[in-house]
Chain A
Amino acid sequence: MSNHASKRRGTDSSYDDLSFSIKRWLSSDGNLTRLFVIMVLVFVTMAILSPRTFLSLDSFSSMAFQFPVLGILSLAMMLSMISGGIDLSIVGIANLTSILAAMVMVRLIPEGASAGTSLLYIAVGIVCAMIVGILCGLLNGFAVAKIGIPPILVTLGSMQMFMGLAIVITKGQAIVGLPEQFSAIGNGSVVGIPMPLIIFILCIGAAYLLLNRRPFGMKLQLLGSNPTASRYGGIRNTTVLLKTYALSGLLASIAGLVMIALTNSAKADYGTSYILQAILVVVLGGVNPNGGFGKIAGVVMAVLTLQFLSSGLNALHVGNFFKDFIWGIVLILVMVINVVSPRMKWKRKPAG
């Protein structure tokens, strides 16, 4: 027995090395490497094609305001997809919760309130939105984990429900006139960094810790790769799924708040195209649609790639429809590369 062990120890000295190296991290996952190369490639191509518009400070600043909403929604989508499910209701949750927040901030706020009072109402609105986001997520989680309905059906239904509720509440009208202090979240900057970007970075940090450093994250990934084995392994599947969908709801509500802060209004049908885009980003980012695997870095790189592509095409004055076409091509291309390249690796060193 001991000679087996010593044989093993000879081959994996890297296992004991706790230090971090970008090179090893990138090479540990072929998908991340490829994604990184694609991201750089898209950036360089756009820079060459329209150096003056794409590489300008204005363009970077507008990008930094644009992608955080999609980024936060993608993080929400990622969590449910790692569990082996999907959450189609995130945009519905984002709209419903942000409408509630907007109503608190616009309709409940007393006329001519002092700055202090309106800050209080803003805070109440934000907290309200986040709590309702968590509740909406728990509802999804309950239907998935306790009742056992497939996630795609549950969230398709709840998407309709949340959206319908939002329309009923607002009678289809937009809520406008959010307090200035709140709009600052959408349009302000701190030391030159746009607020939405800061919020996105905070979300990334929290999601990273949750997924990679907390036992919950490991349980989520194990559950996603084999729910039967996780049950036999002593994981409380129900609890993990409830938490996952609740977190997805929370992130969706944050995305909703950023969205209304950016546009200074709330409406029931904002950002509906974000659902499919979020799925696209997550899959592009290397999250396994069958569950079990996913890296935050991948999702972030995928969001950036799509933003570069989108802003670059704008700079080239390419129409919106053509943009969708190119996004689709990129997605399919990356899928093909992802499927084909591991096969080629196998051929090179058979029976490794």
Chain B
Amino acid sequence: MPKALIELNHINKSFAGVHALKDVSLRIDYGEVHCLAGENGCGKSTLIKVMSGVHAPDHGEIRIDGELRSQLNPIEAINSGVQVIYQDFSIFPNLTVAENIALNGELAQRKKWINWSKMRQTAKQALDKVGVDLDLNAKVEHLSVADKQLIAISRALMHRAKLIVMDEPTTALTQKEVRALFRVIEGLKRDGISILFVSHKLEEVFELSERITIMRNGKNVISERTDQLNREKLVYYMTGRQIDESYYEVEKKTGTPLLRTDNLSLKGCFEHISLSIHPGEIVGLTGLLGSGRTELAESLFGLTPATGGLIYRDGQAVNIQSVQDAEGHGIAYVPEDRLTEGLFLEQSIERNMVVSVIDGQKDKWGMIDGKKVKSTVRSWIEKLGIVAHSPLSPVKTLSGGNQQRVVLARWLAANPKVLILNGPSVGVDIGSKEDIHQVIRDLARQGLGVLMISDDLPELRQNCNRVLVMKRGRIIGESEGKSFTQEVWSQLHDGHDEEAGLAENRGSTA
């Protein structure tokens, strides 16, 4: 039996009443590429934070090289060779490549003076190990996402990493860059470094890993050699149900669209966007981070008004310069980042729910009508099945799924005609995800027009009747919803133009 590098046994962890990890065990051997798979919100990230010493487990033990580590902290974890590359890479955009790679090491040695030439030398060595050639003096902010990732990997290697944990490393990469990353990972494996690859993308999981651990709802379901698993089994273990591929279909729409844009542009973000959404349609919009999809949504909602082109609501040209304009035209937006843009975390569920309709809940004296507010809140809690102790408790005490329902309720209470959803199921458990999808489909059937922005291909496939693909600020393709598979996505996105090179940078630094 191969030697275990790190073992996590029966780990339990709770946050403010949410049991995030329930009796989870994980073992990674030397030189192994191990995949940690699971839906969003299943506890993958928490587990990583436990193994890197960020969170202390409530129960359970951590062994590194067979040695029990009861008080693991981040510095100890790094010294033991555990390196985590988070989604945002934790690099300093204003520093150069060499500084980013070698500065930590210099600082850790507590030297009084920095030896610049030695620093450049070590940085060069680290980059060579990964097998890439980057300008050491380039400012990191001007590099592509893929290059930033390579810098993060090089930096991890500097600390004699034995295990590199990569948290969803392919989210913002093009197909080509993913291939390059896989080659780097294979190289690391040959050098005896273990990789824990965290992902929910099935294709990658199968291609790369030797063993797979699957988590669901904070428990680990199975740990198995990759060749013992197949796609169906994997999906079953991840979701706990057989794949139920039902699709949302509507007959071809011809009348006046609810929302139409004509050559809509915002300098530096997107240009010549012409799309239309008919009543009853759920139109998907996807593209990599920085493709302009969020900026487009925020322009339609008046947060950053478009600089060119026209928006039509029910066939009438409208001028949307502010959120209030958008609201007035029946457009609602559920933002991408629920925690910073969507919610007032410390405030009550009630207040979070009525913020956008509070002006309509006044009595004849202009005071807030408590009864009206309560009945609004109560009816939405029931309609969306929000599980909460009391509407007066802070919204931060809710689970991700329930929080998302609160944001959704806020905008549905405003009775919109067009609903823009940005990442509606990010960080939401599977049960809530299904419920949210059901609510959206029901509303669409009643004539709401929906624009759903998402990275999640199955989500788009099952809920949208059409999917638009954006790249570098333009819509480059459209697919029928139910046939929008990984292959179609790659074909549309990577087939669009191969002269990428230079332009990649612009797409990814946004």
Q: Contact check, B385 vs A4: say whether CB atoms are below 8 A apart.
A: yes
Q: Contact check, A229 vs B370: say whether CB atoms are below 8 A apart.
A: no
- Asked if A351 CB lies within 8 Å of chain B CBs, one says yes
* CA–CA, A219 and B333, complex, Å: 19
A sample of 14 more A-B contacts (CB under 8 A), given A8-B381, A8-B389, A215-B361, is A1-B435, A4-B387, A8-B386, A8-B387, A15-B390, A18-B370, A218-B368, A222-B344, A225-B344, A225-B346, A226-B340, A226-B345, A234-B355, A236-B322
- Asked if A170 CB lies within 8 Å of chain B CBs, one says no
Number of interface residues of B (CB under 8 A): 48
- Asked if A293 CB lies within 8 Å of chain B CBs, one says yes
Interface residues of A in 64-99 (CB under 8 A from B): none
A-B contact count (CB 8 A): 103
Q: Size class of A's contact patch?
A: 35 or more
Q: Shortest CB–CB separation between residue A220 and chain B, in angstroms?
A: 12
Q: Shortest CB–CB separation between residue A50 and chain B, in angstroms?
A: 42
- Asked if A343 CB lies within 8 Å of chain B CBs, one says no
List 13 interface pairs A-B (beta carbons < 8 Å), by A numbering: A1-B435, A4-B385, A4-B387, A5-B382, A7-B387, A8-B389, A11-B390, A213-B368, A215-B359, A225-B346, A232-B341, A232-B342, A351-B14
Q: Contact check, A15 vs B386: say whether CB atoms are below 8 A apart.
A: no
Q: Shortest CB–CB separation between residue A17 and chain B, in angstroms?
A: 10
Q: Check A229/B344 contact, CB under 8 A, given A12-B391, A15-B391, A214-B366.
A: yes
Q: Contact check, A231 vs B323: say whether CB atoms are below 8 A apart.
A: yes
From B332, which residue of chain A is reached at the shortest CB distance? A234
Q: Which residues of A contact B16 (CB under 8 A)?
A: 351
- Asked if A158 CB lies within 8 Å of chain B CBs, one says no
Q: Contact check, B382 vs A2: say whether CB atoms are below 8 A apart.
A: yes
- Asked if A114 CB lies within 8 Å of chain B CBs, one says no
From A223, which residue of chain B is reached at the shortest CB distance? B344
Q: Which residues of A contact B385 (CB under 8 A)?
A: 1-2, 4-5
Q: Which residues of B contact A222 (CB under 8 A)?
A: 344, 347, 351, 355
- Asked if A221 CB lies within 8 Å of chain B CBs, one says yes
Q: Contact check, B323 vs A15: say whether CB atoms are below 8 A apart.
A: no
- Asked if A109 CB lies within 8 Å of chain B CBs, one says no
Summarize A's interface: helix, strand, loop or mixed. Answer: helix
- Asked if A285 CB lies within 8 Å of chain B CBs, one says no
Q: Check A230/B344 contact, CB under 8 A, given A18-B371, A214-B368, A235-B355.
A: yes
Q: Shortest CB–CB separation between residue B350 and chain A, in angstroms?
A: 8
* CA–CA, A30 and B350, complex, Å: 20
* CA–CA, A233 and B374, complex, Å: 19
Q: Shortest CB–CB separation between residue B320 and chain A, in angstroms?
A: 13
Q: Which residues of B contact A236 (CB under 8 A)?
A: 322, 324
Q: Contact check, A225 vs B347: say whether CB atoms are below 8 A apart.
A: yes
Q: Contact check, A233 vs B386: say whether CB atoms are below 8 A apart.
A: no
Q: Contact check, B344 vs A226: say whether CB atoms are below 8 A apart.
A: yes
Q: Contact check, B341 vs A234: say whether CB atoms are below 8 A apart.
A: no
Q: Contact check, A11 vs B355: say whether CB atoms are below 8 A apart.
A: no
From B340, which residue of chain A is reached at the shortest CB distance? A228
From B357, which residue of chain A is reached at the shortest CB distance? A234
Q: Looking at the complex, which one of A14, A292, A352 makes contact with B344 (CB distance below 8 Å)?
A: A292
Q: Which residues of A contact B355 (CB under 8 A)?
A: 218-219, 222, 230, 233-235
* CA–CA, A234 and B334, complex, Å: 12
- Asked if B5 CB lies within 8 Å of chain A CBs, one says no
